[in-house]
Structure 1
């Protein structure tokens, strides 16, 4: 027995045969169908010719209805909120009705809002003409928001607009406590230098210091201020004071204080 096909059949015009029939159906639509390409059970009333293609069951091509879209967005919002946990707020905005700005909200404690409120995630009141300025082609992704309660929030909003509806889906993630953790972790994992670099630097400064002292041909114990300043000048010319912890090392080798080293550097107009 022949039965209706389960899905629409799309056949380009160039693949059809020239023989066809046209008629006006009950809805006053001009219908064209090609008899040789459809089984007898597919009656002309189930075939609509639009934009160069055949479409069976044209009512299946309609846009999602407003209530269907709202239900779908609510399901998505709830799924995200439950998956991401209590720090993640999701909200569905009705951008056509001011009094229904927050049409649905999950984990509303993040921003302190509830269904029916007309406030932004920042805590500020939404102006009554706000919807006039919404561009459905512009979405807001991964923006930072600081609320009136001093919370730091990552916020994203995407809009959905057709002739049937205008909705927005927002995600607001409270990162306040994570920002504090980041500061602690940064301090915990920060290092002064790589070990290999530090070892190389120490070996280099040792070698340079020995070479400079050798040029003086005078024991450190017998050096005066002029002699020590001369050594410091030679060390500066070889960029020793650009190395990490150079000042305390030089002070130890010259048997003077760090304070004295800095005084000598100032007298020589050298900035360590």
Structure 2
């Protein structure tokens, strides 16, 4: 067992406690972010979103790291939608090792179906009732922005270093860039430069691969 996995296993009792505390509608997932392509290492009540051990992360970059409200290594109360249209209220906390490196994430996903039904009933009984919480104010200091950049850098390094294969062939590089594109890596500022440097190719090549992937996707959608 790797040292990182051993450290992350210490969070499993916390995950189980949260799930038992909030019941059947509450899913808790632990990600090993040193293994980005198969980051899910533990899940409980996974009927909520269908997360399985060995899957990769989905919302970490697009909805957590890039959120205006992400600060101090956590984002609480953002919403995601399941394929069957259910609303999930989610929270993500990054997990660091003794060297202050991000090694994992603990995610709580709560199915709001029953709550929404109750809220609707209460709203009908008490018109104008609102329990919305004020938005969390983000700390826009330099350290906060550097933290996100460092996390992005580490994710890119981990994704490339754990890629199966030699990455000598063009198709292998395209598939790796496809994975990073799907996970939102290229939404991060400066990510194209970083990926190009680590893969030993030009920025123009990265953009051409992304353009090729976009055209392939559009072609598949029109079939």
TM-score of the superposed pair, with normalisation by structure 2 = 0.46
TM-score of the superposed pair, with normalisation by structure 1 = 0.39
More helix by share: 2
Larger Rg: 1
